[in-house]
Chain A
Amino acid sequence: MKPIIELIKDLADKHGRERHNLLPILQGVVEQEKYLSEYSMIEIARELDMPATEVFGTATFYSFLEHKKMGTYIIRVCKTITCAMKGEKQILLTIEDMLKIRVGETSSDGKFSLLQTNCLGLCHKAPAMLINNEVYTDLTPEKIRDILTMYMNKKEGGENVN
């Protein structure tokens, strides 16, 4: 984990400091931090010499650029039509039950955040979800239990599960 200021500088060096480089930089910060804090947005604005308000306005347009503190693992369960038809509610209940959090919340250990999301483009393998950038499809309550158990046993900052 780099300090945020350093991270933002590196991202700006890599992508450039013009306005059209904003999204990759926001994504880079979210990749590490899981969300964009006030502080991050102010620093990004400073680095790109643009109004912080516009960073905020732009970031909040995009569902994957959270601006509230998130857990290490962000679970995004697809709620669009096919997933909804194929048991998305069951999946959500199973997750809520296992993690003791509701949609929109983060577990008290800061490890998991549970969100709903719109169509993931995995309708033929519904129901589907993302955990950070990993895809999980054809979900069943049993499968959810296995997947979450694996994540629960993972050490913070550990190597990729797959």
Chain B
Amino acid sequence: MGNKISITINGQKVDVKHGTSILDAATQAGVIIPTLCYHKDLCIAGNCRVCVVELAGQKRLATACATPCESGMEVMTNTLKVRNSRKHIIELLLTEHNADCTSCYKNGNCELQTLASEYKIMNQDFIHLVPFKNYTVDKFSPSIIKDDSKCIRCQRCVRTCAELQSVNALTMAFKGEHAKVTTFFEKTMSEVVCTNCGQCINHCPTGALVEKNYIEEVWSAISDKTKYVVVQTAPAVRVGLGEELGFDPGMRVTGKMVSALKKLGFDAVMDTDFTADLTIIEEGTELLTRLKKVLVDKDSTVKLPMATSCSPGWIKFIEHMYPEYLDNLSTCKSPQQMFGALVKTYYAKSRNLDPESIVSVSIMPCTAKKFEANRPEMHDSGYRDVDYVLTTRELAIMIKQAGIDFLKLDDMHYDRIMGESTGAGVIFGATGGVMEAALRTAYELVTGREVPFENLNITPVRGVEGIKEASIKIEKPLKEWAFLDGVELKCAVAHGLANAKIVMDEIKAGKTNYHFIEFMACPGGCLGGGGQPIPTSPEIRAKRAAAIYAEDEGMPLRKSHQNPEVIKIYADFLGKPLGEKSHHLLHTKYTPRKRF
């Protein structure tokens, strides 16, 4: 039913498609209606009631988000009744919200605060309910802090955890005055299925869910003269950071970010893209080895499809939900952890540093990386491989604290040694990027020719679709890969854990014949990560993705195996892919976990 209907909003005629919500119609007409429980990524809840509007002839107000337009509807968004009601609702929310704004981590980026400020809630004298409730702050997770006293029960986090991520760590429990967002039997976030992906943080309108920040720890390390503080930056950070510092979404700020990090006082500024390239070599080799073992050696202990292992949210997800498939995971560590293991070994050796004095910091678009760095197995350098993980947001805070005028910074380059990267490393930040980078290298390794896609852009694995498929037929391979002749390499890409679940369930049901699958925990991949600037939306993520691919196109080298530093590290240190040293430093194992 594509037919158009007409309504009026504040007297202005608007033509909309049948089924359009009043909220969307208002946006179309340039009328702003405040919202709280509404989020573009999520299903409609209609529970905060902030978006109420008046409809001609009706005593009761309607929610703009949940009410579809009907022909002839007369909507009024700014009547006395509407304003008073909204004000009441905001006041009510403030009474159950611990509004200690000045000491809140989300101060300045809180939707409730913004609304309170717009509606000038000054003399509200309803009874403050927070002191009567037994609220707790859960700080047990290394990634996420959950402060129930700031929760306004909009359920955006619950819907995020269920709809986007299929994790269901969070739920609404109890009812009435006791209704709250909580976990299974009110356990701490560290005890339940939480994957630490941080999407709940990205979708929380207040400070009820925030990342556990390590800003002060990093400042202390920087000011400690006995410490050599190195920093790595993940691919997606460079296309998100600008949003926190005055740029529109989609701005690439790589050079400015490097400058800023140097000004902050880091001793070396390096690039996770380097280990992204390295991951491709290791993971690509692992894939080809697995293919050989399955196709030639008929080794039934080797599992296909092989799944990527760069996304720590995905890793914890599969550990909880599909522990019987852990052998399908690539054993490669994520680029962050490869980097960490190499910084305190290879880098320390090259620079003649005592690894003990090195403090290894990473800037990630991700909160699950905090958990990952904290995993007991991530000590292969002999030390904790990555000491502190900061999100894109935390880095922005440090830049602001340091008084750096980000917009005026000159561009700078990453430092030598583990600072070089290719376009293939950059696109790790977008969904499909790991797959594309792997194919660029693996295909060439096997056939000696470039992937048969124009300008190396493997477009079938790009884009916002939740699950993408691609296949490449291998023809005329090099002699040593002759067993792959005629093999159609079948690949899939899934982002957002809800999509990962769909693919895994298909695998479980025996419905697929993929060889290789890229899984990313977050919608859009890392660029939509739980540590990226807030707000997020499909449009914002699309802009960040465009920036990532533009960065790739602009790189002189666009294939991981071309990275001169990668070539050098194998020659000087690692030996060969999947070699003994690689095995020790760059690969890992996984832990089955309980499903609740």
Contact = CB atoms under 8 A, between A and B. Distances in A.
**A and B pair up:** yes
A53 interface: yes
Interface string B101-123: 00000000000000000000000
A53 B168 CA distance: 6
B155 to A, nearest CB: 11
A42 interface: yes
Contacts of B169: 53
A110 interface: no
Nearest to A63: B175
Contacts, number: 42
A56 B169 CA distance: 11
Contacts of B184: 38, 41, 52-53, 56
Interface residues of A, number: 14
Contacts of A52: 184, 595-596
B175 A56 contact: no
A53 B596 contact: yes
Contacts of B183: 53
B582 interface: no
Given A42-B596, A52-B596, A53-B192, A67 B171 contact: no
B172 A57 contact: yes
A53 B175 contact: no
A52 B193 CA distance: 10
Nearest to A50: B168
B342 to A, nearest CB: 38
Interface string A15-42: 0000000000000000000000010011
A60 B174 contact: yes
Nearest to A61: B175
A38 B174 CA distance: 16
Contacts of A46: 595
Contacts of B595: 45-46, 52
A51 interface: yes
A10 interface: no
B132 interface: no
Interface string B170-192: 11111100000001110000001
B318 to A, nearest CB: 16
A8 to B, nearest CB: 15
A56 B183 CA distance: 8
A54 B168 contact: yes
A56 B185 contact: yes
B173 A38 contact: no
Contacts of B175: 60-61
B320 to A, nearest CB: 11
Contact of B168 (A38, A41, A51): A51
Contacts of A67: 185
A23 B595 CA distance: 21
A54 B185 CA distance: 11
Contacts of A56: 171, 173, 184-185
Given A53-B183, A56-B185, A61 B174 contact: yes
Nearest to A62: B175
B448 to A, nearest CB: 48
A152 B183 CA distance: 38
B185 A38 contact: yes
Contact of A60 (B168, B173, B192, B596): B173
A156 to B, nearest CB: 27
A53 B175 CA distance: 15
Contacts of B173: 56-57, 60-61
Contacts of A61: 173-175
B546 to A, nearest CB: 35
B134 to A, nearest CB: 15
Contacts of A45: 595-596
A117 to B, nearest CB: 14
Which of B168, B174, B192, B596 has its CB near the most chain A CB atoms (within 10 A)?
A: B596
The winner among B170, B174, B192, B193 for most chain A CB atoms within 10 A is B174
Contacts of B170: 53
Given A53-B193, A56-B173, A56-B185, 7 more contacts: A38-B184, A38-B185, A41-B185, A53-B184, A54-B168, A60-B175, A61-B173
30 contacts: A41-B184, A41-B185, A42-B596, A45-B595, A51-B162, A51-B171, A51-B193, A51-B596, A52-B595, A52-B596, A53-B168, A53-B169, A53-B170, A53-B171, A53-B184, A53-B193, A53-B596, A54-B162, A54-B168, A56-B171, A56-B173, A56-B184, A56-B185, A57-B171, A57-B172, A60-B173, A60-B174, A60-B175, A61-B175, A67-B185
